Amino acid sequence: MDNENLETNIGKIAGLIASSRRLVFFTGAGISTESGIPDFRGPGGLWTRLDPDDFTIDKFLGSKESRRKQWHFVQEGLMTGRALPNAAHIAIAELHRMGRLDCVITQNVDDLHQKAGVPEDKVFELHGNMKRAVCLDCRSRYPFEEIKVRLDAGEDIPACPNCGGTLKPDVVMFGEQLPYKVLEEADRRSRAADVFIVVGSTLVVYPAAYMPQYAVESGARLVIINLGDTPMDREASVLISARAGETMTAIVKRVRG
């Protein structure tokens, strides 16, 4: 996209945001790659180095070796507290501070929207959050930092300190149901949106990818900011193929002006 067209589209998006009453953002792995978090399916993504079959809930529950692999992956910190919000996260948080944001629906598990300043109750995490571990027996939750101390001390499969049950990262694994209440509220917010902005998602992972479809079916204007095509490009009122950080910064500057 040439600079003139990009500037025109940035202006269009800023206009949509300025006139919106129910602005919803939907974010995927592409918003966090600029924070140093690898995506899953792109060149050099996690699934080029790891076997997705090792990250199913069935294997986690049925195989100690699989649990060991998954906890080692968590211990390496690829998707945990080392990453910091980038310009795109900060721009979305700025829209919240300006009173423009209804909510963020995210496929990400990195907590970066909250770190940037979007309140917890405005972030709907469809796939969970790596900052926590949950016991599958007593449902107690623990901060990841607490579990990492144990991993660094040599535990390879940490158990629940409360009941001795099975701990797992509080994220949705392959074959696991999405959290019902979060999914239900994300569905409701998507259908109520008047402007729905996708940032950094290929829109191929379901049921999360139904959210922009619900928004469009309910009359929302769809914006897609993503490096690469998505199945919903033809439905978009504005489509930008550019980096999330610089694009969102430019959009918010226009809205503020």
Catalytic residue positions, numbered: 127
Rounded Cα–Cα distance for residues 186 and 126 (Å): 8
For the chain, the three-class secondary structure string (H helix, E strand, C coil) is CCHHHHHHHHHHHHHHHHHCCCEEEEECHHHCHHHCCCCCCCCCCHHHCCCHHHHEHHHHHHCHHHHHHHHHHHHHCCCCCCCCCCHHHHHHHHHHHCCCEEEEEECCCCCHHHHHCCCHHHEEECCEEEEEEEECCCCCEEEHHHHHHHHHCCCCCCECCCCCCEEEEEECCECCCCCHHHHHHHHHHHHHCCEEEEECCCCCCCCCCHHHHHHHHCCCEEEEECCCCCCCHHHCCEEECCCHHHHHHHHHHHHHC
Among 14, 9, 5, residue whose Cα is nearest residue 252: 14
Among 149, 134, 140, 128, residue whose Cα is nearest residue 75: 149
Residue-level length of the chain? 257
Residues 6+ apart with CB under 8 A from 72: 156
